[in-house]
Amino acid sequence: MDPTQNPNPVYDIVILGASGFTGKYVVREALKFLQTPSSPLKSLALAGRNPTRLTQSLEWASRPNPPPSSVDILTADTSDPDSLRRLCTQTKLILNCVGPFRIHGDPVVAACADSGCDYLDISGEPEFMERMEAKYHERAQETGSLIVSACGFDSIPAELGLLFNSKQWEPPSVPNQIEAYLALESTKKIAGNFGTYESAVLGVASAEKLKELRRSRPRKPRPSIHGPPAKGPTLENQKKIGLWALKLPSADAVVVRRTLTTLTEKPHGLPGLNESPDQIQKREAFWSAIKPAHFGVKITSKSLFGIFRYVTLGVSLGLLSKFSFGRWLLLKFPSVFSLGWFQKKGPSEEEVESATFKMWFIGRGYSEESLVSEGKTKPDMEIITRISGPEIGYITTPIALVQCGLIVLGQRESLVKGGVYTPGIVFGSTDIQQRLEDNGISFEVISKNKIQD
């Protein structure tokens, strides 16, 4: 929040949608940092439509302790703009967990952009994110409202994973392509969150709207990448990691590309509101070490049957999401069309605790930058890195969102004044990676090798 706006907000953070399935896990994560010695989070409130459910969410998130009396319950509804405006005057930062965002997100972003309140969410919906940038970026710049979507599993691991891999390419080497391979693992059968599934259904349905939006906007400069993109197979047996992999149309790839586009426009990152000379030097050094690369995401499985399930889900979404009756079928019977992967009641706590993820980043490029100018387009070097962590939707997502929120609270002067941005360009040069490592998400360099012909 710009210090010129609303000088005396009551709360540091308001969690909107705190009684939802993901929201209550975000509350649980935020409580770990409420009024602890080194945390900037001194005051917290929960907001939503139903005070009773919010109170129950706070009780659940506080277990085994009693709920803290300092956490207030506020009533707000995404269909009531006045309630959202009131919310924005009461807090420095809103963490928005109310999805699908293309249905419920716009009024919240509008209220923040108008008031100067800062805003983070866990959306993985490209059309919503790009529409918010088109509609509210200039207004948010004026008022000093920092608006950042995709601060959960979509797309913090992908953004930081690309940056981490890129940093390993020390001069004179340069990357050409970095591909992310996502492996979801669990000792128990785990059902995905219905909200995530609903967002995917609506996302496929609005793919044409996203194309229209992009056509209507001015073209931005493309990142300068060494060498052409490699045309890889849709399905591959990736022997380096021992998994089958399927190309995925992914929000992560869209968000990473937007970060690299912003970096092309601002090669030293985003200047902060009131940075010290040391902070400026650190930010510029960080971004000058980042080399853009072609980026894509693949979902993996140990077996071809697992890949078949992904294909079945993709075909179902692709065919049925385009028609209202098809969308009704998909949303009415999620377990059928996802072959049991998604269901309305979501996973149990035990199922959540049993799940983990691994995300490999396989970077291919050139040992010498000069090789490309000499016409050698075949990469001769490979760097593999990996991010690992707990369950993606209810543990990693709250960890990522809350750490981004704590950075906004504690380091606001070193962040950009306002505007609608991707998380990579806002948080990349902060201590976000160290914070995630301190909270159970690991970053590793697996190997650096010359590629043998």
The one-digit pLDDT tens for each residue of the chain (453 residues) are 544 355 678 999 999 999 999 999 999 999 999 999 999 999 999 999 999 999 999 999 999 999 999 999 999 999 999 999 999 999 999 999 999 999 999 999 999 999 999 999 999 999 999 999 999 999 999 999 999 999 999 999 999 999 999 999 999 999 999 999 999 999 888 777 787 788 888 888 888 899 999 999 999 999 999 999 888 899 999 999 999 999 988 899 999 999 999 999 999 999 999 999 999 999 999 999 999 999 999 999 999 988 988 888 888 898 999 899 999 999 999 888 888 888 887 788 999 999 999 999 999 999 998 888 777 778 999 999 999 999 999 999 999 999 999 999 999 999 999 999 999 999 999 999 999 999 999 999 999 999 976
The pLDDT of residue 2: 44
Domain ranges of the chain: 156-391+440-450
The pLDDT of residue 453: 66
Q: How far apart are CA 32 and CA 10, in angstroms?
A: 20
pTM given for the model: 0.95
Q: Are strands 419-421 and 174-186 parallel, antiparallel or unpaired?
A: unpaired
The pLDDT of residue 3: 40
Residue appearing with tokens 């993985």: 124
Q: Which two tokens stand for residue 232?
A: 């890889």
The pLDDT of residue 423: 98
The pLDDT of residue 6: 54
Q: How far apart are CA 124 and CA 378, in angstroms?
A: 33
Nearest to 162 by CA among 258, 230, 98: 258
Q: How far apart are CA 284 and CA 1, in angstroms?
A: 23
Residue type at position 161: G
The pLDDT of residue 7: 61
The pLDDT of residue 445: 98
